[in-house]
Amino acid sequence: MLVVRPISMSDYDALHTCAVESGHGFTSLPVNETLLTDRITHSEYSFSKESVTEPGDEGYLMVGFDSETGEVAGCTGIEASIGWDVPFYSYHISTIVHSSPKLGVNNVVKLLTFGNNYTGCSEICTLFLRPVFRQGLNGRLMSKCRFLMMAEHPHRFSETVFAEMRGVSDDDGNSPFWQWLQEHFFTIDFTMADYLTGIGKKGFIADLMPKLPIYVNLLSKEAQAVIGQVHENTKPALSLLKKEGFSCRNYVDIFDGGPTVECDLRNIESVRHSIRAKVSVAEHSSSQDYLVANTSFENFRATAAKVAYDQETESVIISPDVADLLLVSEGDYVRMLPQ
């Protein structure tokens, strides 16, 4: 059984493995000891931070582990409010019309405008599940546990939640979108630019990125074709987020052109339909699958399990084994989502 919990420094080796296996283009998991260590340290600080009344510099990183072997299966995270300490850049796609009634010409043109429009928003990020664990409800748990956390502790997060989706790149980490930018404005390749961004060295972006809007029709055909498209490995994650109510509002990544999707926190399907129930610990014969999370923040736990929910009494029967994994006892509360 997979269980999600806050990351700790003892998980460094497992996080490093996830970083290596995630491959090129996974900006939030660069293979860099200092950065990974700093992320773990910052997450430990964030989870232990008390009296939080509004989102700030907190970054919450969690791991999913096999309850039988203890092996870490993947990671998932939330940034409470991005862009305050390190700028968060994106391109906005807008449409203009070049028209000449006298000549009978009416051309619709798209522009890419560089900006920081997501400053202050919460970002769901760093979702990676190792291939051997991509089965059953594991992927849904790693993604949706974040929404159960948000539903239970909304004051810690922004009204707008977004996610950057990995754009198109080949097995060697080459991005058609970046290749055009590199040719005209940069002299470093995609993997290096992506790596520098991942370790927080974003100064080169502001220094070298074109400040004026870019006409999309001036880009190479290859670059135009991947704007708003996702990497093949990212399609399942995008599909899941769309079902949650996330949509692209014409923002794309500045490196690979991958789409950014967003949703109001209160409108996320898993937030809207999550259930809070009082726990009874006992064996039961229910066959209904739920994603279940405790209501603790510092000691957050979530898993997928069969439980017996009684809507009339707003109570749930959880087996002793599952209760132990969730760190809950008789009379405690959990937040659940039917599957």
Q: Phi-psi category of 151—alpha, beta or left, where left has phi over 0 and alpha has psi -120 to 50?
A: alpha
Residues 16 and 120 in one domain: yes
- The answer to whether 142 and 64 have CB atoms below 8 angstroms apart is yes
Question: CATH number for the domain including 309?
Answer: 2.40.40.20
Number of domain units in the chain: 2
Are 257 and 287 found together in one domain? no
Q: Over the stretch 121-146, which tens digit does the pLDDT of each residue have?
A: 999 999 999 999 999 999 999 999 99
16, part of any domain: yes
pLDDT, tens only, 28-38: 788 889 889 99
User: Quick one: 314 and 249 in the same domain?
Assistant: no
Of 86, 151, 93, the C-alpha closest to 119 is 86
Category of 237 on φ-ψ map: left (φ > 0), alpha (ψ -120 to 50) or beta = alpha
User: For the segment 16-75, what is each residue's pLDDT rounded down to a tens digit?
Assistant: 999 999 876 576 788 889 889 999 999 999 999 988 999 999 999 999 999 999 999 999
pLDDT band at 193 (very low <50, low <70, confident <90, very high): low
Helix 235-243 and helix 138-152, axial crossing angle in degrees, nearest 10: 40
Do 141 and 52 sit in the same domain of this protein? yes
**What is d(CA 111, CA 113) in angstroms, rounded to the nearest whole number?**
6
- Same-domain check for residues 156 and 196: yes
* Domain match, 291 and 191 both: no
- On whether residue 313 sits in a domain, the answer given is yes
What's the mean pLDDT when you consider all of the chain?
Answer: 91
**Is there a single domain that holds both residue 167 and residue 298?**
no
Beta strand pairing call for 122-129 and 72-79? antiparallel
| Structure token pair of residue 114 | 């560089």
List pLDDT tens digits, range 199-247: 555 555 666 677 789 999 999 999 999 999 999 888 988 999 999 999 9
Instruction: Give the range of the structural domain holding residue 305, as residue numbers without chain letter.
Output: 274-338
Tell me: the pLDDT tens digits for 245-291?
A: 999 999 998 888 999 999 999 999 999 999 999 999 999 998 899 99
Same-domain status, 154 and 69: yes
Where among 270, 298, 326 does a domain terminate? 270
Q: With pLDDT > 90 as the criterion, what percentage of the chain qualifies?
A: 71
pLDDT band at 107 (very low <50, low <70, confident <90, very high): confident
Last residue of a domain, one of 223, 245, 270: 270
Positions marked catalytic = 231
Q: Domain end: 243, 270, 297, which one? A: 270
Asked if residue 103 is part of any domain, the answer here is: no
Domain at 259, CATH number? 3.40.630.30
> Do residues 220 and 309 share a domain?
no
Same domain, 46 and 63: yes
